[in-house]
Structure 1
Amino acid sequence: MVTLACRIIGAEHFDVIWLHNNKEIKPSKDFQYTNEANIYKLQIVEIFPEDAGTYTCEAFNDVGESFSTCTINVLVPGEEPKQPVITKFPSSVTIQEGERCQFICETQEEPLKLTWLKDGKPINESSTKYSFIKDGNRYTLVIKNCSIDDGGQYQVKAIGKKNETSSAFSVNFD
């Protein structure tokens, strides 16, 4: 069993849904929604290769929405893991306007290319708003002075000779 958990604070009335690769997961015996106080969980009873991908916890009400995104990779015994292998995944954050934030991704071996995306589009690497740091197989994205426009869903994509691997995360504001 795999359990994803999301702590939601700051609102009294809201609905919560979970998504897999941007499609809503309907609660069932295989995918169970639970919550205790302000912790909302998705329990995946049995994990299969097709369950790999991006998972999002989305909380919404009449005022707006907030979400947290993560990636699940499923390793199958006896099969080679998808290359390139990400060994450190960037984490979602909740920040305040004007703050600096950074996201770190490490890979087992150097990919042919590594790309950072926001809301599905590559981030402009020539923009002065961002810093891109490479130190061996460690890649860092820095957002220097976060504004509301920086909120959204992000992804880092490591491209190898035959495959690509990605990891999703999100930026929310207090």
Structure 2
Amino acid sequence: MTSDGEEHCLKISEAFPEDEGNYYCIISNTIGKVTLEANLQVVQPQQAELAPSIAPLEDVTIEEGEGVRFNTVVIGSPMPSVQWYREGALIPHSRDFEMFMEGNTAVLDIKLTYPEDTGIFTCRATNSAGQAETSAMLTVKSKAD
């Protein structure tokens, strides 16, 4: 609290939820008394939204029957949801295609590959601030080649 002539000030340098409530300034002299009231509400700062950012995937060439793992770092706020696509079609969870997050890394594990798995694989990250995606070519060579 400070007073400078006719100016009186209450300064709260850091406000927390427990500081909420009514504050009163009572000014009195020999003639009388005046009471001023102010209500303080403390709101939590909103976390800034950040559109997703995603690291590039790299093209992969493997032999039929081998497994392959695609992974990419995903950031954003709020944390983006991640979906994987093959040739534009959403990949459903199955025993052959496992999709999961390891911290900020989105992972697609393909346990066993066939030549027909050849195609463009895309990782798409989406949150309320936007969307980002990256793609890579998977080439599966037939054992007969």
Band of TM-score, shorter chain: 0.5 to 0.7
Question: Structure 2 unaligned runs (5+)?
Answer: 1-49
SS of corresponding position for 1:117? strand
Instruction: Give the drift of 1:154.
Output: 1.1
**1:132: how far off?**
1.5
Match of 1:158 in 2: 125
1:169 maps to 136
Please list every run of 5 or more consecutive structure 1 residues that lacks an aligned counterpart in the other structure. 1-81
Q: Give the aligned length.
A: 91
Q: Is 1:83 aligned with 2:63?
A: no
Q: CA RMSD in A?
A: 1.6
Match of 1:122 in 2: 90
Partner of 1:107: 74
Q: Which residue of 111, 121, 124 corresponds with 1:144? A: 111
1:78-134 deviation line (CA, Å, top 9, x unaligned): xxxx82011x32211011100010000111236331000001010011x11011231
TM-score normalised to structure 2 length:
0.58
**Quick one: structure 1 residues 149 and 111, their matched pair in 2 at CA, closer, same or farther if it must change by over 3 Å?**
farther
- 1:94 matched to 2:61: yes
Distance (Å, rounded) in 2 between the aligned partners of 1:100 and 1:165: 26
Q: Which has the higher contact order (CA 8 A, sep 6+)?
A: 2
* 1:5-62 per-position Cα deviation (integer Å, ceiling 9, x unaligned): xxxxxxxxxxxxxxxxxxxxxxxxxxxxxxxxxxxxxxxxxxxxxxxxxxxxxxxxxx
Distance (whole Å) between structure 1 residues aligned to residue 72 and residue 82 of structure 2:
10
Contact persistence 1:111–1:158 (CA under 8 A): no
**Residue 18 of structure 2 corresponds to which residue in structure 1?**
none
Separation (CA, whole Å) in 2 of partners of 1:164 and 1:111: 11
CA deviation after TM superposition for structure 1 residue 148, in Å: 1.1
Contact 2:57 2:70 survives alignment (8 Å): yes
Cα separation, 1, equivalents of 2:117 and 2:79? 26
